């Protein structure tokens, strides 16, 4: 599959590929090793009607038993039409149908779409009793998938469940937005992720502009937010704000910030939901707990804010005083 904008060609297979047991084992590794059951789940979307989503329609046809080669060709043509940027790399698109995929304790069929863009050179030795020949061949490394998605035959009325993988998502918006046209499902994973993002935005944007708080205070509120989600199985909005922010004025400010956020949100935020711990783990990575002081010091703050004291000495120099029991 080439890039349409560069006038490269699209070549389709006329029949399903026959594979040996050995090749099938390698393809399973290539296709599925990058997907995990705790990945963020998406669903197909269309501004008017999800039935107008091209890949959603093709998935319907495959699950209903229509000719696999014909429908997979339609998927390839759709992807080819969406290569509207000269930077999109050519490659091979594989379409596969899996009979028994376990997702959240449910056994279902799944359609896999996998695009390979990187090729590597391999040294191959061939020979017999008389001589050995050295060959250089180009091929796909089964450990390196560039883009992929699994469409699970589940929750069809909600746009199916879709799990995606991209080796470099910053360069591949077209894969999710133009080709697949998917958006995150409003499930526990998404509710958890959105609430943690909301807290981060509030602390970074609103809290520092409305109240006199230090960088250490901001980090403390972020740490308390994450610790709440790590230590609970169920989220309760009232309980959260009282445990994390405590101060009535800050709580009032946060509630207003959340209400304004809700007006712009695509999906409503619930006041209670089951916490997704994979989402907490992923979001915690972007919560910065580092206090940067000029270019001289970085202080990592993970615990009790009361053990940090800020001040200014008689010469006007700012300082932080840190109390501890022992060095580790």
Predicted confidence at residue 153, as pLDDT, reads 93
Classify residue 111: in a domain, yes or no: yes
155 and 224 share one domain: no
Of 184, 217, 237, which closes a domain? Answer: 184
Per-residue pLDDT of the chain (328 residues; tens, 9 = 90+): 777 777 778 888 888 888 888 888 888 888 888 887 667 789 999 999 999 999 999 999 999 999 999 999 999 999 998 887 777 888 889 999 998 888 777 788 999 999 988 887 778 787 777 788 888 877 787 778 889 999 999 889 989 999 998 887 655 578 888 899 999 888 888 899 889 989 989 988 888 888 888 788 888 888 889 899 999 999 999 999 999 998 999 999 999 999 988 887 767 788 999 999 888 888 877 666 666 666 766 666 666 666 677 777 788 787 777 777 777 6
Task: Name the E strands within the chain.
Answer: 42-44, 92-103, 106-116, 120-127, 132-139, 147-152, 161-166, 182-184, 234-236, 272-274, 290-293, 297-300, 308-312, 318-322
- Give the domain range for residue 151: 4-116+143-184
61 and 149 share one domain: yes
Distance CA 214, CA 85 (A): 45
171 and 209 share one domain: no
Predicted confidence at residue 170, as pLDDT, reads 56
Distance of CA 77 to the CA centre of its chain: 26
97 and 225 share one domain: no
Classify residue 31: in a domain, yes or no: yes
Query: What token pair was written down for 276?
Result: 């997704």
11 and 152 share one domain: yes
Predicted confidence at residue 102, as pLDDT, reads 83
Predicted confidence at residue 32, as pLDDT, reads 84
User: How many residues can be counted in the chain?
Assistant: 328
211 and 310 share one domain: yes
Distance CA 257, CA 279 (A): 22
104 and 154 share one domain: yes
Predicted confidence at residue 121, as pLDDT, reads 79
Of 165, 184, 203, which closes a domain? Answer: 184
Nearest CA to 145 out of 168, 122, 170, 116 is that of 116
69 and 211 share one domain: no
Give bridge partners of residue 98 from the DSSP assignment.
110
- Count of structural domains, the chain: 2
Predicted confidence at residue 129, as pLDDT, reads 72
46 and 150 share one domain: yes
176 and 244 share one domain: no
Nearest CA to 298 out of 196, 219, 222 is that of 219
Distance CA 119, CA 328 (A): 47
User: What does each C-alpha distance from 53 to 10, 50, 179 come to in angstroms?
Assistant: 22, 5, 9
Find out whether 116 and 92 touch, Cβ atoms under 8 Å: yes
Distance CA 22, CA 143 (A): 16
301 and 177 share one domain: no
């Amino acid at each position: 599959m080439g890039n349409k904008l560069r006038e490269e060609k699209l070549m389709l297979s006329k029949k399903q590929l026959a594979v040996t047991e050995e090749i099938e084992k390698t393809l399973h590794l290539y296709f599925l090793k990058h997907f995990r059951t705790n990945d963020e789940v998406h669903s197909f979307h269309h501004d008017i009607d999800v039935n107008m989503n091209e890949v959603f329609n093709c998935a319907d046809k495959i699950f209903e038993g229509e000719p696999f080669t014909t429908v997979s060709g339609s998927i390839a043509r759709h992807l080819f039409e969406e290569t509207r940027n000269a930077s999109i790399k050519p490659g091979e698109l594989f379409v596969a149908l899996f009979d028994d995929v376990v997702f959240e304790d449910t056994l279902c069929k799944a359609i896999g779409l996998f695009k390979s863009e990187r090729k590597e050179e391999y040294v191959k030795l061939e020979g017999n009793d008389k001589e050995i020949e050295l060959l250089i061949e180009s091929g796909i490394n089964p450990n390196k998938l560039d883009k992929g998605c699994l469409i699970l035959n589940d929750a069809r009325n909600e746009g199916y469940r879709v799990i995606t993988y991209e080796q470099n998502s910053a360069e591949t918006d077209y894969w999710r937005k133009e080709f697949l046209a998917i958006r995150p499902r409003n499930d526990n994973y998404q509710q958890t992720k959105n609430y943690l993002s909301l807290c981060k935005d509030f602390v970074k944007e609103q809290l520092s502009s409305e109240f006199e708080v230090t960088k250490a205070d901001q980090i403390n509120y972020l740490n308390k937010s994450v610790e709440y989600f790590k230590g609970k199985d169920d989220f309760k909005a009232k309980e959260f704000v009282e445990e994390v922010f405590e101060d009535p004025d800050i709580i009032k400010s946060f509630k207003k910030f959340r209400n304004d956020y809700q007006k712009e949100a695509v999906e409503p935020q619930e006041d209670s939901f089951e916490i997704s711990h994979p989402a907490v783990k992923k979001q915690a990575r972007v919560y910065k707990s580092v206090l940067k002081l000029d270019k001289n010091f970085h202080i990592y703050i993970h615990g009790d804010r009361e053990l940090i004291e800020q001040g200014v000495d008689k010469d006007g120099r700012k300082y932080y005083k840190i109390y501890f029991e022992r060095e580790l």
